[in-house]
Amino acid sequence: MMKSSHTETQSQPLNIESVKSKDFLWLNIRDLPYFRSLLRAVEAQFYQDIDLTAPTLDLGCGEGHFADLTFDRKIQMGLDPSRESLQEARMRQAYYLLAEADAGRMPYPDGYFASVFSNSVLEHIPHVEQVLSETARVLKPDALFVFCVPNHRFNDFLSIAMFLDKLRLTALAKLYRTFFTYISRHRHMDSPETWKSRLEQAGFVVEKWWHYFPPNALAMLEWGHYFGLPSLIMHKLTGRWILVREYWNLMPVYRWLQPYAKAVASDDGVCTFYIARRIG
């Protein structure tokens, strides 16, 4: 049940206080740096109430970690341009098939998929308009396209930049925001109006969208990029983000993150979730 406002694109889901049988925060912090775990845990909860009809495409599947933990079934196809990521995805066995390809030139016939999802991927793609057009091409008429991205408020609410703004060090604040955009590899941090326009041009109609991940959660993610440096070194040396996956090692971080890991709509959220439909 969704709560609608005065336009078709400004709707918000009811709070999801629990997920049926999975604790997505716990599942993620066993494998990923905590800042990625937090965001992925929130996003995974939203998918539990969305019916993604098979065959489904995971656009930008990466190493397959998100699909493996989020869904109770294998996804028909995962697509990603990174051969290294796809090698890990094969080991996870979360997909029936995998394809190494640019999402702007997908190797699939017209109308092949009954649903597509893309989790925190489109913001990194320079030629996103081409990707949206290709996504529309490979979807059946009336099929769902579900995705989430950071929005136009993401950089505004970075805690270090806000602190510098308060000190009237605006040039340093701007430099920091540029730096964080670079390390996050963000190409698009846009408003719902911009995404709605892109989607309509590609052949979609937006059925629902909502903001999520408020500024206090963003601060956890932001600082995690720096506190997570030991995990990065560990990954380079061992191929694993988390060396000790035991309860005693992870529980303090788990308890710390729990208050921020609820999948709720937030008026000041810095990310946006979209449910669009291919125009028939």
Query: Which of 186, 201, 235 finishes a domain?
Result: 186
Please report, to the nearest 10 degrees, the dihedral formed by the alpha carbons of residues 188, 194, 200, 202 taken in order. Answer: -20
Q: Quick one: pLDDT at residue 22?
A: 86
- The count of domains in the chain is 2
**Same domain assignment for residues 20 and 50:** yes
**Same domain assignment for residues 117 and 146:** yes
* pTM for the full predicted model: 0.87
CATH code assigned at 232: 3.40.50.150
Q: Is 150 in contact with 271 (CB distance < 8 Å)?
A: yes
What's the full length of the chain, in residues? 280
**Same domain assignment for residues 99 and 233:** yes
The C-alpha atoms of residue 243 and residue 235 are separated, in whole angstroms, by 9
Q: Quick one: pLDDT at residue 227?
A: 66
Q: Quick one: pLDDT at residue 3?
A: 35
**Same domain assignment for residues 170 and 253:** no
Closest CA to 75 of 100, 90, 45, 97: 97
What domain range includes position 181? 155-186
Q: Quick one: pLDDT at residue 18?
A: 40
**Same domain assignment for residues 217 and 85:** yes
Q: Quick one: pLDDT at residue 251?
A: 83
Q: Quick one: pLDDT at residue 226?
A: 79
- Longest Cα–Cα distance of the chain, Å, equals 55
Query: Which of 170, 186, 202 finishes a domain?
Result: 186
pLDDT in tens, the chain (280 residues): 333 333 343 433 333 344 345 899 999 888 877 778 999 999 999 999 999 999 999 999 999 999 999 999 999 999 999 999 999 999 999 999 999 999 999 999 999 999 999 999 999 999 999 999 999 999 999 999 999 999 999 999 999 999 999 999 999 999 999 999 999 999 999 999 999 999 999 999 999 999 999 999 999 999 987 766 666 555 555 666 455 667 767 888 899 899 999 999 999 999 999 999 999 8
**Same domain assignment for residues 193 and 182:** no
**Same domain assignment for residues 147 and 222:** yes
The C-alpha atoms of residue 63 and residue 250 are separated, in whole angstroms, by 22
